[in-house]
């Protein structure tokens, strides 16, 4: 029997949204209602509602689908046309009411809204936009809004999403056009990238206009993001790293999210039966971090991969890279530039900046490292301090085994 109560539909549509990892409320503009005007705030962190992936990971904030009906048939998606799931649908007004009442109860800090495609991409996109427009215009809602946009919809309707939302996103879904054609036959890679390009131009234009005129309208101030599913096809990590770096470069994305493929109920036969190790997703996030904050070029991160283009699972990509390029070490922490220090395994950005600050006043000793990192064992072979110099450690044949985290015994009754 079809669930008609709001609660029943909420159960279905919040559950259906949990497979999307591409939401995070970072980088928005500061808005609040502390002066008694409007509703909501983009800051403060109160009333956060989390969503969980099927494996129990906490992946993000409140997420909701407008509907899980869909006329498309993407094999990896639980909501695809041929899937045998229970269906439900909200009207835009119902989502507006739900958002406001959840917000007032402090359950959420904003709205992440996506949808299956009903009737047509244009119709669906109009409904999504209507939710955000009503929240902003009618209710003066100042909380965070992230809208998932539909690349197949009219670019003008997609662009309206950016007028009301803090962040917009379009999922590239799969790393290669061939995989997309095989697993999401209704989607089209050039069209997805074309829509991303359209949003990027508008985001850049709006930023430029606001630099000149403070009253110029905002357009998706928290930028755009995307998501790639990992492990549903045979794409290697190096191909994924390469794709992500091209997306960052071409479309100025705020984030590329990686979502380890989770076998879904009633799965299509073209999908793998098993999900990839969750650690693979974690290593891809680490590699993403290396290119965004640690000065690694994408091809350098890829050098940490094995002959099949896969990053090691037992050690992080920065350590893997350092072990391959031992001739670049040890780094003298009292003299090296910041870029070289950021290459040291176990030293994060904050730790490097703290050491740079400290060395203006005194020499860096091993004790100083112990204060800024928990990874002293990992970084000793790679650094020189005023009281430490590794002797032949970098030549040890078993250095990798010595530095890899010890395997942990699974608990029988854990
Ligand atoms: S378009 Fe594809 S991924 Fe999106 S809801 Fe429909 S079937 Fe799922």
Q: Where are the domains of the chain?
A: 6-230, 317-403
Alpha-helical runs (H) found in 232-348: 237-251, 278-293, 298-302, 317-324, 338-341
Residue with tokens 């799965």: 267
How far apart are the CA of 203 and the centre of ligand 1, in A?
A: 26
Nearest in space to 281 (alpha carbons), one of 230, 344, 324, 223: 230
- Residue 218 in this model has a pLDDT that exceeds 70: yes
Ligand 1 near 70 CB (within 6 A): yes
Ligand 1 atom with the smallest distance to the CA of 73 is 7
- Residue 401 in this model has a pLDDT that exceeds 80: yes
- What rounded mean pLDDT belongs to the chain? 88
How far apart are the CA of 77 and the centre of ligand 1, in A?
A: 6
Ligand 1 near 80 CB (within 6 A): yes
Ligand 1 near 65 CB (within 6 A): no
224 phi and psi, to 5 degrees?
-125, 155
Using CB atoms within 10 A of its CB, is residue 266 exposed (0-12), middle (13-18) or buried (19+)? exposed
Report pLDDT for 269. Answer: 80
CA-CA distance, 177 to 12, in Å (whole number)?
A: 31
Ligand 1 atom with the smallest distance to the CA of 71 is 6
Triad 91, 95, 99: Cα angle to 5°: 170
Ligand 1 near 114 CB (within 6 A): no
Ligand 1 atom with the smallest distance to the CA of 150 is 1
CA-CA distance, 39 to 31, in Å (whole number)?
A: 10
Q: Out of 10-24, 224-238, 240-254, which region has the weakest mean confidence (pLDDT)?
A: 10-24
CA-CA distance, 277 to 317, in Å (whole number)?
A: 16
Q: Which residues contact 409 (CB under 8 A, 6 or more apart)?
A: none
Q: Out of 33-37, 93-97, 227-231, 405-409, which region has the weakest mean confidence (pLDDT)?
A: 33-37
- Residue 52 in this model has a pLDDT that exceeds 50: no
Report pLDDT for 63. Answer: 84
- Residue 273 in this model has a pLDDT that exceeds 90: no
Q: How confident is the model at residue 47 (pLDDT cuts 50, 70, 90)?
A: very low
Report pLDDT for 16. Answer: 84
Which residue's CA is the nearest one to ligand 1's atom 4? 116
Report DSSP state, residue 330: -
Span 348-392, pLDDT tens digits: 999 999 999 999 999 999 999 999 999 899 999 999 999 999 998
Report pLDDT for 409. Answer: 60
More confident residue, 108 or 205: 205
Nearest in space to 276 (alpha carbons), one of 250, 246, 252, 240: 240
Span 172-204, pLDDT tens digits: 999 999 999 999 999 999 999 999 999 999 999
Angle between helices 237-251 and 278-293 (to 10 degrees): 40
CA-CA distance, 242 to 309, in Å (whole number)?
A: 11
Ligand 1 near 195 CB (within 6 A): no
How far apart are the CA of 184 and the centre of ligand 1, in A?
A: 8
CATH class of the domain defined by 6-230:
alpha beta
Nearest in space to 275 (alpha carbons), one of 228, 229, 232, 227: 232
What is the maximum alpha-carbon separation in the chain?
73
Ligand 1 atom with the smallest distance to the CA of 83 is 7
How much is the average pLDDT of 139-166? 94
Q: What is the pTM of this model?
A: 0.86
Return the beta strands (E) in 173-245 as ranges: 224-230
Ligand 1 atom with the smallest distance to the CA of 116 is 5
Report pLDDT for 404. Answer: 93
């Amino acid at each position: 029997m079809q669930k008609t109560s709001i609660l029943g539909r909420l159960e279905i549509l919040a559950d259906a949204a949990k497979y999307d990892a591409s939401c995070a409320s970072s980088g928005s503009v500061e808005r609040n209602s502390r002066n008694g005007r409007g509703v909501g705030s983009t800051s403060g962190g109160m009333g956060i509602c989390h969503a969980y992936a099927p494996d129990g990971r906490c992946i993000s904030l409140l997420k909701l689908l407008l509907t899980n009906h869909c006329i498309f048939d993407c094999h990896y998606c639980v909501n695809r046309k041929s899937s045998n799931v229970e269906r439900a649908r909200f009207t835009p007004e119902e989502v507006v009411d739900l958002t406001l009442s959840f917000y007032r109860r402090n359950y959420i800090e904003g709205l992440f809204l996506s949808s299956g495609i009903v009737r047509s991409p244009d119709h669906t996109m109009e409904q999504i936009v209507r939710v955000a427009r009503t929240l902003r215009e009618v209710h003066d809602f100042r909380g965070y809004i992230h809208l998932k946009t539909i690349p197949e919809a009219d670019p003008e309707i997609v662009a309206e999403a950016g007028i009301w939302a803090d962040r917009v996103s379009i999922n590239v879904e799969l790393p290669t056009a061939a995989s997309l054609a095989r697993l999401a036959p209704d989607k089209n890679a050039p069209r997805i990238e074309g829509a991303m390009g359209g949003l990027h131009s508008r985001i850049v234009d709006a930023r430029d206009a606001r630099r000149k005129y403070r009253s110029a309208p905002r357009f998706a101030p928290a930028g755009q993001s995307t998501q790639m599913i990992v492990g549903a096809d045979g794409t290697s990590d190096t191909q994924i790293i390469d794709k992500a770096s091209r997306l960052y470069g071409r479309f100025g994305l705020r984030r590329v999210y990686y979502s380890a493929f989770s076998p879904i109920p009633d799965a299509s036969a073209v999908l793998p039966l098993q999900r990839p190790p969750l650690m693979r997703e974690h290593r891809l996030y680490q590699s993403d971090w290396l290119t965004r904050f640690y000065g690694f070029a994408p091809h350098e991160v890829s050098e940490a991969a094995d002959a099949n283009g896969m990053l090691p699972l037992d050690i992080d990509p920065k350590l893997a890279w350092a072990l391959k390029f031992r001739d670049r070490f040890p780094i003298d922490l009292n003299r090296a530039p910041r870029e070289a220090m950021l290459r040291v395994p176990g030293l994060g950005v904050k730790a490097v900046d703290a050491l740079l600050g400290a060395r203006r006043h005194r020499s860096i000793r091993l004790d100083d490292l112990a204060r800024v990192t928990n990874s002293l064992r990992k970084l000793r072979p790679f650094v020189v301090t005023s009281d430490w110099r590794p002797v032949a450690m970098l030549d040890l044949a078993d250095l990798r085994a010595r530095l890899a985290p010890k395997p942990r015994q699974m608990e029988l009754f854990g």
